[in-house]
A = this chain, B = another copy of it.
Amino acid sequence: MANSKYEYVRAFERDEMLLPNTWIVVRVDGRGFHKLSNHYQFAKPNDQRALELMNAAAVHVVTTIPDMIIAYGVSDEFSFVFHRSTTLFERRAAKLVSTVVSTFTAAYVALWGTMFGGRSVGGTGKGDSGAAFSSAALVSTGPDLTMLPTFDGRAVCYPTWENLRDYLNWRQVDCHINNLYNTTFWAMVQQGGMTATAAEEELKGTVAADKNEILFSRFQINYNNEPDMYKKGSVVVRDYELVMAGAEKGRGNGNADDDDGEGERGQAVYALSKTQKEKDNKARQKAKVVVLHVDIIKDEFWDTRPWLKTGRPGKVL
């Protein structure tokens, strides 16, 4: 295929293949979303529709990439997890990252109108209330193109199940810490009439209990009653029949005892017959991809969904 004397330039291409048998996390982050959320007047501290748009885009990514086993989102970021056995794109980093980022971006932009369809978008700078932020709107006026939602991304490898769990724990703890802070801060500003500076100053050095107390005593807000999507973030998974952890162990199917997945050679899934792989993929396609707002730090979530660790599909509902 050397069609010209210039083709030698291909020799400069370098492919980073991510280490086999490691969990691959591709984290997607909104670019300049602070400015963007002001431009489109997202509600503070949480904009329900903006979060649901993130979730819808993530559902689209998980649906179209079967090697993805779970995704977790908070604020303007989403982490997508490929099973350690994946060989998608020969595990080339640039290909994995760019595909996830592009698919997420495409869905986010395409779905924008479904979330913000009936909403005034102040960002057009024209005061046209009620105009949908459809893609048509995006392009009908100059300024909006400068405020297109975009995302960057990166891939990180985690060698063990526990490292992966800790990664997700890190993100969910972060969600909690930030949301408690933001909820308190904005209550002080929006309901308490404080300046941003004054609120910030008062919150400096406070611990969780202090913030809960401020929320409750001054604003009659019980933080526990806040929506789970805000407190726990969003988990995107295929929906199979849950497994009773205890029962599972009783059946001795190995998910409990050697429950590390490391007991295998990282070949378990490769080693499947072609027929079995096709069956697995069909099962995956039949499974509905759902959004949950639940605790993923405790073991229960994982014990009842052993397929997340094995990479094999569960029983389709």
Interface residues of A (CB under 8 A from B): 3-4, 6-17, 19-22, 31, 60, 64, 84, 93-95, 97-99, 101-103, 105-114, 117, 132, 134-136, 138-139, 145-146, 148-163, 166-167, 169-170, 173-174, 177, 258, 260, 262-267
Contacts and interface: CB of A to CB of B under 8 A. Distances in A.
Contacts of A9: 156, 158, 163, 166-167, 170
Contacts of A60: 145, 148
Contact of A148 (B106, B263, B265, B267): B106
A146 B66 CA distance: 13
18 contacts: A3-B177, A6-B169, A6-B173, A9-B156, A10-B170, A13-B154, A14-B156, A19-B19, A95-B152, A99-B152, A103-B150, A106-B148, A110-B145, A117-B136, A135-B138, A163-B265, A260-B262, A260-B263
Contacts of A103: 148, 150
B263 A162 contact: yes
Contacts of A151: 98, 102
B8 A154 contact: no
A10 B163 CA distance: 10
